Amino acid sequence: MSDAPKKLYIKTYGCQMNVYDSERMAEALGGQGYEQVDSPEGADMILLNTCHIREKAAEKVYSELGRYKGLKAANPDLKIGVAGCVAQAEGAEIMRRQPMVDLVVGPQSYHRLPEMEAKTQQGEKALDTDFPEELKFDHLPKGRKAKRGPTAFLTVQEGCDKFCAFCVVPYTRGAEVSRPVSRVLREAEGLVEQGVREITLLGQNVNAYHGQEGGEDWGLARLIRRLAEIDGLDRIRFTTSHPNDMEDDLIAAHGDCEKLMPYLHLPVQSGSDRILKRMNRGHTAEEYLRLIERIRAARPDILMSGDFIVGFPEETEEDFQATMDLVEAVNYGQCFSFKYSARPGTPAAERPLVDQAAADNRLQRLQALLTTQQRAAQDAMVGREVGVLFEKAGRLPGQMVGKSDHLHAVHVQCDVPVGTLARVRITESGPNSLGGTLLG
Show binding-site residues for [4Fe-4S] cluster.
Answer: 15, 51, 85, 160, 164, 167
Query: Residues within the annotated binding site?
Result: 15, 51, 85, 160, 164, 167
Q: Is 127:44 a contact under the CB 8 Å cutoff?
A: no
- E strands, 287-404, in order: 303-310, 334-339, 385-393, 399-404
Strand 126-128 and strand 103-105: the pairing is parallel
**In angstroms, what CA-CA distances link 178 with 135, 185, 219, 235, 246?**
10, 13, 10, 22, 16
In the three-class reduction of DSSP (H, G, I as helix; E, B as strand; rest coil), residue 163 is classed as: coil
Report the alpha-carbon distance of residue 330 to residue 267 in Å, rounded. Answer: 12
Helices 285-298 and 248-256 pack at an angle, to 10 degrees, of 30
Residue 263 — φ and ψ, nearest 5°?
-145, 130
Sign of CA dihedral 23, 269, 263, 221: negative
**In angstroms, what CA-CA distances link 428 with 12, 46, 305, 437?**
33, 43, 22, 10
Amino acid 222 reads R
In the three-class reduction of DSSP (H, G, I as helix; E, B as strand; rest coil), residue 320 is classed as: helix
Task: Quote the radius of gyration of the chain (alpha carbons, Å).
Answer: 23
Closest CA to 177 of 232, 81, 236, 108: 108
DSSP code for 238: E
